[in-house]
């Protein structure tokens, strides 16, 4: 099929524009990675680096030698693993129960969940509740109040709605009760969907910042984002210097090494996420 000149120009222009968009998106990340691997002496010498002459792991070595930074990564990893597991259990089981039309009170509960999506009482009542539950300064304050989101429950319920009733019926005929049907039949079928939700929950837990800021008093309990904020925005490296043995590299390379380290887990997880939402399986969740 012969393409007209106009179409050909459009095709090339399109290709170029998209390429520029990709470059603009990638550039900040590229810059951060490059500077983080730059030898500190070279960074001080030149005012800006677009491609380093001397590569060095000095910044990373310093960063990972400090107890504080490594500990905050450990805290975030703990939150992500435990939080995601608990979130999946709570969200999925509620969503499955709500997807069964025979459940009494189903509509009332769904209405209530909808209301929680539309109306948020705010920061103060939530803070008061956490305080009353004696969760202040505990890592559980970062997990328990965030266990399930109304959106996710409804989305997962929609997913369970699509599982044909015949499966459940034939299991019932074979004498299975709801619990064993849930464990033996529904869950194995739902693994891809659970994995997708799990990854989204995990990223959410990893990126938690504000809750940790207001609920945690102990610097030792800081998750990675709070640690990062301290380093980046307050130029405060005192927590780090307390433990390190070597002289600290220039602030900028150190900060960039921290940013890269905090981002690497997300990037590792990202290809798995892409598989699910690129196909539009999470279309509904994007609406919110």
Partner 1 sequence: MSANEPRAGTVPRAPVRTGGAAAWLRRLALDLKRDKYLYVLALPGLVFFLIFKFVPMWGIVIAFQNYSPFAGIGGSPWVGLEHFRRFFDNPDFMMLFRNTMAINLLNLVCFFPLPIVLSLLLNEVRSVFYKRFVQTIVYMPHFLSWVIISGLTFLIFAKGDGLVNNLLEAAGASRVDVLTNPHLFWIMLTIQSIWKEGGWGTILFLAAMASIDPQVYEAARIDGASRLRQMRHITLPAIRSVIVVLLILRLGHMMDVGFEQVFLMYNGAVSEVAEVFDTYVYRVGIQQGQFSYSTAAGLFKSVVGLVLVVIANRIAKKMGEEGVY
Least distance CB 214 / partner 1 (angstroms):
6
CA 225 to CA 253: how far, in whole Å? Answer: 18
Under rule CB under 8 A, residue 32 binds partner 1 = yes
Interacting positions 83-112 with partner 1 (CB under 8 A): 89-91, 93-98, 100-104, 109, 112
- Residue 272 within binding range of partner 1, rule CB under 8 A: no
Between helix 67-99 and helix 58-65 the angle, nearest 10°, is 80
The per-residue b/e assignment along 226-237, b for 16 or more CB within 10 angstroms, e otherwise, is bbbbbbeeeeeb
CB atoms within 10 A of CB 170: 12
Q: Which of residues 182-201 bind partner 1 (CB under 8 A)?
A: 182
Nearer to partner 1, 69 or 206 (CB): 206
Q: From residue 250 to residue 269, what is the string marking binding to partner 1 with x (rule CB under 8 A)? A: -xx--xx--x--xx--xx--
Using CB under 8 A, pick the residue from 54, 74, 81, 210 that binds partner 1: 210
Contact set for partner 1, span 40-79 (CB under 8 A): 47-48
* Axis-axis angle for helices 5-36, 251-277 (nearest 10): 130
Stretch that binds partner 1, among 14-22, 60-68, 189-197, 239-247 (CB under 8 A): 14-22
Of 70, 140, 163, 168, the residue at the interface with partner 1 (CB under 8 A) is 168
How far apart are alpha carbons 247 and 23 in whole angstroms? 35
CB 41 within 8 A of CB 239: no
């Amino acid at each position: 099929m012969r393409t007209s000149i106009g179409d050909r120009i459009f095709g090339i222009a399109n290709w170029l524009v998209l390429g520029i968009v990709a470059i603009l998106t990638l550039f900040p990340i590229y810059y951060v990675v490059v500077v983080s691997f730059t030898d500190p002496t070279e960074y001080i010498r030149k005012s800006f680096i677009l491609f380093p002459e001397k590569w060095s792991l000095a910044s990373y070595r310093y960063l990972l030698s400090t107890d504080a930074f490594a500990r905050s990564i450990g805290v975030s990893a703990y939150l992500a693993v435990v939080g995601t597991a608990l979130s999946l259990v709570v969200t999925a089981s509620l969503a499955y129960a709500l997807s069964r039309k025979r459940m009494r009170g189903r509509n009332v509960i769904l209405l209530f969940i909808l209301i929680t999506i539309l109306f948020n009482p705010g920061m103060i009542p939530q803070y008061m509740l956490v305080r009353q539950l004696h969760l202040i300064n505990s890592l559980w304050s970062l997990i328990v109040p965030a266990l399930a989101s109304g959106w996710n429950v409804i989305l997962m319920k929609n997913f369970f709605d699509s599982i044909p009733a015949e499966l459940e019926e034939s299991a019932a005929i074979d004498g299975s009760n709801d619990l064993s049907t849930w464990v033996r039949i529904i869950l194995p079928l739902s693994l891809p969907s659970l994995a997708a939700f799990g990854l989204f929950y995990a990223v959410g837990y990893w990126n938690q910042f504000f809750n940790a800021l207001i609920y945690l008093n102990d610097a030792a309990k800081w998750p990675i984002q709070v640690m990062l904020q301290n380093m980046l925005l307050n130029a405060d490296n005192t927590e780090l210097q307390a433990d390190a043995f070597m002289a600290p590299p220039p602030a900028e390379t150190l900060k960039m090494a921290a940013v890269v380290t905090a981002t690497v887990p997300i990037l590792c997880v990202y290809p798995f996420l892409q598989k699910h939402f690129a196909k539009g399986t999470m279309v509904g969740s994007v609406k919110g």
